[in-house]
Structure 1
């Protein structure tokens, strides 16, 4: 079976061609869950930045950080915080460690293995009865 190559474009210009599936679409929440207990940089829409270790996040990307250094919008003032809560709707930008992407991909593969059907997918199945 041959795999067709799909052109990857950036800003309307065609670049090299890569095989499909090379760049997987990864949901931000799965990346955030994989980034728990790792360093994280968060930039807010207001311009302030928070560097800290991610403690937890929820479905709305609200997050708790610990050991945080907050930098003002102008970059002249700094605050060291023991912990802080950031509302997900205020987040403009997140920077994660590169290893987090690999960790998220591994977790996704493990979840796919857990949810694979056991049967062959044909026939009436085994031990299910006749319906009714």
Structure 2
């Protein structure tokens, strides 16, 4: 399973995010900034919240967040937090997310094998995979057999 597929499935679910050393604070939370400025190094700052969105660089937005200091002795409640993907050390997702991703992948694989429409590559042509070509009774990329798609070239027999 790819991390991004896990994150996309986890949208709306609670997650825990642990940051690398030297974490940066958000300017909208001055109390947190003051606390971080008082410490020489910030280790293992964690954010617990509901995942709102993520992108291909694993930058994430959390809502209803509780930030915990490195020592676990200070807590801050924040409405929302943006975390840059390169500062993330660790993500903890609920176990049910892994099950959901696994079931979704199995469902897609079953659907592809039952439909029998090639290998899932391309989008033109017939059923058994392979590449199209000139005058070989196959469709374009991703197809073989009778020309069913728009691609490829075949002679008309009279």
TM-score (norm 2): 0.60
Where does the alignment leave 5 or more consecutive residues of structure 1 unmatched? 1-25
Match of residue 16 from structure 1: none
Q: 1:120 aligns with which of 119, 127, 130?
A: 127
Q: 1:42 aligns with which of 17, 29, 42?
A: 17
SS in 1 for 2:48: strand
Any residues of structure 2 matched to 1:65-84 within 5 Å, and which? 65-84=62-81
Deviation at 1:126, TM superposition (A): 2.5
Query: For residues 76 and 54 of structure 2, what CA distance do their matches in structure 1 show?
Result: 22
Instruction: Give the direction of change, closer, same or farther, for the CA distance of 1:120–1:114 in structure 2 (3 Å limit).
Output: closer
Where does the alignment leave 5 or more consecutive residues of structure 2 unmatched? 22-43, 118-125, 130-136, 139-145
More strand by share: 1
More helix by share: 2
Deviation at 1:58, TM superposition (A): 0.4
Whether the aligned pair in 1 keeps the contact of 2:147 and 2:154 (CA below 8 Å) is no
Coordinate RMSD, CA, aligned: 2.4
Query: 4+ runs of 1 displaced by more than 4 Å?
Result: 114-117
Cα-to-partner distance string for 1:80-120 (whole Å, 9 max, x where unaligned) = 00110001000001100000001112233344436965243
Q: How many residues align?
A: 107
Query: For residues 102 and 89 of structure 1, what CA distance do their matches in structure 2 show?
Result: 27
Structure of larger gyration radius = 2
Is residue 99 of structure 2 the alignment partner of residue 102 of structure 1? yes
SS in 2 for 1:101: helix
Query: For residues 72 and 36 of structure 1, what CA distance do their matches in structure 2 show?
Result: 25
Cα-to-partner distance string for 1:55-97 (whole Å, 9 max, x where unaligned) = 0100000000000000011111100001100010000011000
Structure with greater contact order relative to length (CA < 8 Å, sep ≥ 6): 1
Cα-to-partner distance string for 1:6-26 (whole Å, 9 max, x where unaligned) = xxxxxxxxxxxxxxxxxxxx1
